[in-house]
Amino acid sequence: MDRQTSMSNLIWKDWRHHGMLVHRYHSHQHFLFPG
């Protein structure tokens, strides 16, 4: 249970971080990636 919780926690943090990076990059380079 403990391992599962920490694992999903890690994935959640990673996903949030990745999402923020992609959003920031996408908004700056929008013309390169239409849609």
Summarised one tens digit per residue, pLDDT across range 1-35 is: 578 888 888 877 877 766 676 666 656 665 555 54
- Per-residue pLDDT at 14: 75
**Contact between residue 2 and residue 9 where contact means Cβ atoms under 8 Å apart:** no
> Domain span at residue 22?
1-34
Quote the number of domains for the chain. Answer: 1
Give CA separation, 14 vs 3, 22, 25, 33, 35, in Å. Answer: 16, 12, 16, 23, 24
